C-alpha cells in the first residue's frame, strides 16, 4: 500500500487494488491489549483496508482484525500493520500473515461486490438515459 506518499502532496495516484465497502461486522483490537476499538465500515482491498476510527494508532502498530463480509458472509481473522494514520479520520492497514483461504475469500467478495456495483451503475445510467429520451 503506497497511500502514505499520496497523502503527502501527491495527487492523482493509482491504487494497486480496487477497494469496496463490503463488510457487515468488524472487530479491531490493538495487539497486546484487550480493549476493542469502535470503527465504522471500512473499504476493503485484497492487501488491506482503510478503517474509519477516531482512535490514533502509530505507524507500524500491529492490530488484530476480524470481519464478516457482506456478500459472501465469509469471516476473516488476521493481523494487520498500520501503514498510515489520519488523526480523527482513520488508519490504512496492510494485512500480515493472512491465510491463503482468507485472501481467496476477499478476492471473491471484491469480485462479486464490484460486479454488483457495475450492474447497479449501468441500471442507473440506463434509467437516466430513458428519462432524457422521454423529455
Q: What is the pLDDT of residues 77-89, one digit of tens each?
A: 999 999 999 998 9
Span 49-64, pLDDT tens digits: 999 888 889 999 999 9
Q: Tell me the CATH number at 57.
A: 2.40.10.220
Of 53, 42, 47, 51, which Cα lies nearest the Cα of 20? 42
Q: What percent of the chain has pLDDT over 90?
A: 37
Tell me which residue range forms the domain holding 112.
Answer: 3-134
Task: Specify the residue for cell string 492487501.
Answer: 47
What is the predicted pLDDT for the residue at 82?
96
Residue 125 confidence (pLDDT)? 44
Quickly tell me which residue has 485472501 as its cell. 103
Residue 93: which pLDDT band, with cuts at 50, 70 and 90?
Answer: very high
Taking CA atoms, 106 is separated from 49, 62, 65, 82, 92, in Å, by 11, 20, 14, 19, 17
More confident residue, 118 or 89: 89
Count of domains for the chain: 1
C-alpha cell at 114: 464490484
The model's pTM: 0.67
Mean pLDDT of the chain: 76
User: What is the mean pLDDT of the segment spanning 102-131?
Assistant: 73
In contact, 77 and 28? CB cutoff 8 Å: no
Grid coordinates representing 93 are 492497514
Q: Among candidates 104, 116, 113, 19, which has minimal Cα distance to 70?
A: 113
Amino acid at each position: 500500500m503506497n497511500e502514505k506518499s499520496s497523502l503527502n502532496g501527491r495527487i492523482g495516484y493509482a491504487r494497486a487494488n480496487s477497494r469496496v465497502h463490503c463488510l457487515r461486522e468488524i472487530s479491531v483490537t490493538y495487539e497486546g491489549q484487550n480493549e476493542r476499538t469502535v470503527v465504522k465500515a471500512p473499504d476493503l482491498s485484497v492487501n488491506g483496508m482503510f478503517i474509519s476510527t477516531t482512535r490514533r494508532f502509530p505507524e507500524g502498530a500491529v492490530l488484530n482484525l476480524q470481519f464478516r463480509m457482506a456478500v459472501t458472509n465469509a469471516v476473516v481473522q488476521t493481523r494487520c500493520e498500520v501503514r498510515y494514520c489520519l488523526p480523527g479520520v482513520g488508519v490504512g492497514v496492510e494485512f500480515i500473515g493472512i491465510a491463503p483461504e482468507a485472501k481467496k475469500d476477499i478476492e471473491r467478495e471484491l469480485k462479486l461486490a464490484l460486479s454488483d456495483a457495475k450492474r447497479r451503475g449501468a441500471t442507473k445510467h440506463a434509467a437516466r438515459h430513458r428519462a432524457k429520451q422521454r423529455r
